[in-house]
Structure 1
Amino acid sequence: MYTHEKKVLTQGKPLSETGKALILIHGRGATPTSILPLAHELGADDFTRYAPQATNNTWYPYSFMAPADQNQPALDSALELIDETVKDIQAQGIASKDIYLLGFSQGACLTAEYASRHAQRFGGLLIFTGGLIGQELDTSHYKGNFEGTPVLITTGDPDSHVPVSRVDETVKQLESMGAKVTRKVYPGRPHTIIEEEIELGKKILAS
């Protein structure tokens, strides 16, 4: 098992000029360079963009619905890397309400899990095909209040990795913590991000 080195690819103007950050978390087998172009599609060229790199291009070894201890220590290390990235941004004077988190697939699961363990008023969360992590949800991990943070969560039905039932559990948890959630399930959609999801994401980033 492995832990993650701290490697974060950064794009765009410095935070001192943009005043807002978008953290993009790639999926299994992908890279920061493969997810960063999504920021442009989402109209986020005026954000400072951060994309952490998973060791071996994988955040944790097994399914996000496996017993959590099977994915350790990689899972905790991944969450720690996201936390360090958020804290590095905040240390430059950026409030959480100007920090947006985005992930696809395995990265979407990490986005949901990290945000729920550190709930606060984020700018927005874009959870493209993902949900909270664990065979069963351990709600003792989830702390804080989202204070109206807008959230987009999506999946296909069926999706090869993310069942609708876990998306629904995740929506319920996020809403109980004060998030304003938009849930979209696309019948027959392959494991990808479609144009409607991009348009919905744009609205959150522009809000």
Structure 2
Amino acid sequence: MFTLKPLIIETASPPLMAVIWMHGLGADAHDFENIVSQLNLSQNKNFRFIFPNAPVRSITINNGSPTRAWYDVKSLTDLNHEDEKGIRESNQFIETLIEEQMNSGIESKNIFLAGFSQGAAMSLFTGLRYPKPLAGIIALSGYLPLPEKIKTERSSQNQTVPIFMAHGTCDTIVPIQLPQYSKQCLES
């Protein structure tokens, strides 16, 4: 299912920190590759950016049209019908990417998970459950999937992981109520 190799960009060698950045629904690994140059990281900031590709799957809200997606989307307003199987499959894939970075010598505490929209949802889902401490989570225009399960599934290692969430008030795809509810779940 996850067959394409991720796009990898290093700011300097050897990389000491990693950012695994997941794209949104219908995009691909190249969607945010320009962010690396826009961040103007100095040469002494040795980052490896990993931009993986979600698999192509049928998306219910798009009349079953196949597109790159971390999981199926059945509704943008009802979280009671989420694609738990697809979310958990993508979670396993992202955990594999984290493990690959650790095997290359980057400690888990130096790995960030980031994403946009559906990728933001996966960065929150995976980062909060990962069994080793992470550097942080960046979630842009996303929400926490399966929020009712976070209390029992959240890793003790990432109880205090720094989280940056941002969401535009004019977002016509992900309703502002979803990240607001996610924030409430994370704070409770």
Q: TM-score, normalised by structure 1?
A: 0.71
1:78 to 90, 112, 116: 90
User: 1:148 and 1:142, CA in 2 relative to 1: closer, same or farther beyond 3 A?
Assistant: closer
Query: For residues 132 and 177 of structure 2, what CA distance do their matches in structure 1 show?
Result: 25
The alignment yields a C-alpha RMSD, in angstroms, of: 2.6
Instruction: Provide Cα deviations, 1:63-108, integer angstroms capped at 9, x if missing partner.
Output: 4665576525332221111100001111122112211111001111
The aligned counterpart of 2:175 is 163
Instruction: Provide Cα deviations, 1:111-156, integer angstroms capped at 9, x if missing partner.
Output: 111111116532221100111113x522233222336432210112
Query: For residues 106 and 4 of structure 2, what CA distance do their matches in structure 1 show?
Result: 21
Deviation (angstroms), 1:158 = 4.9
Count residues in correspondence.
172
Query: For residues 130 and 78 of structure 2, what CA distance do their matches in structure 1 show?
Result: 22
Query: For residues 171 and 97 of structure 1, what CA distance do their matches in structure 2 show?
Result: 23
Tell me, yes or no, if structure 1 residue 142 matches structure 2 residue 154. Answer: yes
| Structure 2 residue runs without a partner (length 5+) | 57-67
The aligned counterpart of 2:72 is 61
Q: Which moved more, 1:104-113 or 1:46-55?
A: 46-55
Query: For residues 87 and 36 of structure 1, what CA distance do their matches in structure 2 show?
Result: 22
2:139 to 100, 114, 127: 127
The percent identity for this pair of structures is 24
2:126 to 105, 114, 139: 114
| Structure 1 residue runs without a partner (length 5+) | 177-207
The aligned counterpart of 1:189 is none
Residue 182 of structure 2 aligns with an amino acid whose one-letter code is T
1:89 to 101, 119, 136: 101
The aligned counterpart of 1:12 is 10
Deviation (angstroms), 1:51 = 0.9
Q: TM-score, normalised by structure 2?
A: 0.77
User: 1:120 and 1:174, CA in 2 relative to 1: closer, same or farther beyond 3 A?
Assistant: farther
| Secondary structure in structure 2 of the residue aligned to 1:153 | strand
The aligned counterpart of 1:32 is 29
Q: Runs in 1 of length 4+ with deviation above 6 angstroms?
A: none
